[in-house]
Structure 1
Amino acid sequence: MLALILVAFLSTTLAVRPGFIGSGNLEWRDCANSADSWISINKFDISPKPIPLPGDMVVELNSDLSHLLKDAVAMDVIIEKELLGQFTKVVCVKSVGTCHYDDPCHFLNTFKGTAGGSGCPKQLSDNGLPCTCPFNPTQIRLPPTKFTVASVSGAWSFLATGNYHIKISMTDKASSKIRGCLETYVNIRA
């Protein structure tokens, strides 16, 4: 009897949220309406669990971009940290947190300012992935790839440990339709 109670408890605490895919290291879902989506996400994973910050992590992504992406999209990022059993939004400070970006390409253009405009992180350029706008229709295939976060700014270090809910959505400015969306639950430790 005790064994059955333990199995029932573990199955509910380890269960994946409805509509999400459990990769083993995180829970995620492509939250865009497939009829309106320009970006479809087929696989997403980050390991280890919990994700160490600072530290090394391995990221894997398999998605398809079916439309030219440029300054015609806006991006909304929602970051919530679990506090006392409830998820609470992290405010937007210096463009980090729960923020609206009217021109997300503006942030990516910082990579153009490096020598020869090839300032993409090596992990992306080694896999033939661009990191500046515009993005042409393509298959995005990032095999399990190691990234290192060397440090976390002192102002943000208090946020570096905990359970997080993150939702990133891209909206077509002309039609106001969501053209891409990724939602995930992750555990981070400092």
Structure 2
Amino acid sequence: MSLSVFTIVPVLALAYVLGVCPSNAFSVNDCMSDGRYNADNVIHVSEASIDPSYFVAPGVVSAKVNFEILQNVTSDLDLSVHVMKKVWWFWATGHRSTRSLCETLDTAFLEDDGTTNCPSELSSAGIPCRCPFRRGRYSLPWTSFDLIKPDDVPYGKYWVEARLTDPFTGVLKGCHNAEFYISSY
């Protein structure tokens, strides 16, 4: 029995919609073995939520995060980021990079005049955004952020893993992954 294109296309379209459209579209997980209780772990996210449950770009998203810096971070760490995008039923690697955590933060918050400042949303909540980091519990209450989508980032479902490692020993110091959906509506 051969199937026509009129049979196959609707079935594939339905499978695609069920497989990648936003439903419980945002999650964050600790990927360190033993999570918070791992002696090497420097950060643990206990709660992360967004509203709506997926990113609409361009648009506005509200976020709430509770996390703990488990030990003082006095020297730089390497930040490795691995991004994958879901294409039909498969995950395709979209980006991999490893950079200095401190340099990354300094660049992310670089002002036009060459200074670096924490965004007011973070500083008013007492959340550090520059190295070094002091041990403590931090909480970002529901806060709204404007979102833009770079032209080279397609809409769809994403998985991102961020790993912190000691640049001298290679010891894993933190690991979190997030799954989310970027939509135009």
Q: What SS does the aligned partner of 1:120 have?
A: coil
Deviation at 1:119, TM superposition (A): 2.1
Question: Residues 45, 100 of structure 1: CA spacing in aligned structure 2 closer, same or farther, 3 A cutoff?
Answer: same
Equivalent residues in 2 for 1:79-158 (5 A)?
79-91=83-95, 98-101=96-99, 103-110=100-107, 111=109, 119-149=117-147, 151-154=148-151, 156=152
Aligned equivalents of 1:88, 1:106: Cα separation in 2: 28
Sequence identity (%): 24
Aligned equivalents of 1:52, 1:100: Cα separation in 2: 27
Aligned residue type for 1:67:
Q
Match of 1:76 among 57, 76, 80: 80
Match of 1:66 among 70, 73, 80: 70
Paired position in structure 1 for 2:14 = none
* TM-score calculated relative to the size of structure 1: 0.73
Aligned equivalents of 1:112, 1:84: Cα separation in 2: 37
For each residue in 1:75-127, what CA deviation from the matched residue of structure 2 results, as whole angstroms up to 9, or x when unmatched?
A: 11111000121010113xxxxxx2111x1211212436577956211211121
User: Are residues 1:48 and 2:45 paired?
Assistant: no
Contact kept, 8 Å, 2:165 with 2:173, in 1: the verdict is: yes
* TM-score calculated relative to the size of structure 2: 0.75
User: Are residues 1:172 and 2:174 paired?
Assistant: no
Q: Give 5+ residue unaligned stretches, structure 1.
A: 1-12, 15-22, 92-97
Deviation at 1:43, TM superposition (A): 0.8
For each residue in 1:118-177, what CA deviation from the matched residue of structure 2 results, as whole angstroms up to 9, or x when unmatched?
A: 62112111211121111111212111211112x3333x2xx2410111111111223322
Aligned equivalents of 2:48, 2:89: Cα separation in 1: 26
Superposed structure 1 runs of 4+ greater than 4 Å apart: 112-118
Contact kept, 8 Å, 1:81 with 1:88, in 2: the verdict is: yes
Question: Residues 38, 119 of structure 1: CA spacing in aligned structure 2 closer, same or farther, 3 A cutoff?
Answer: same
Larger radius of gyration: 2
Aligned equivalents of 1:86, 1:186: Cα separation in 2: 15
Question: Residues 169, 138 of structure 1: CA spacing in aligned structure 2 closer, same or farther, 3 A cutoff?
Answer: same
Paired position in structure 2 for 1:10 = none
Count of matched residue positions in the alignment of Structure 1 and Structure 2: 159
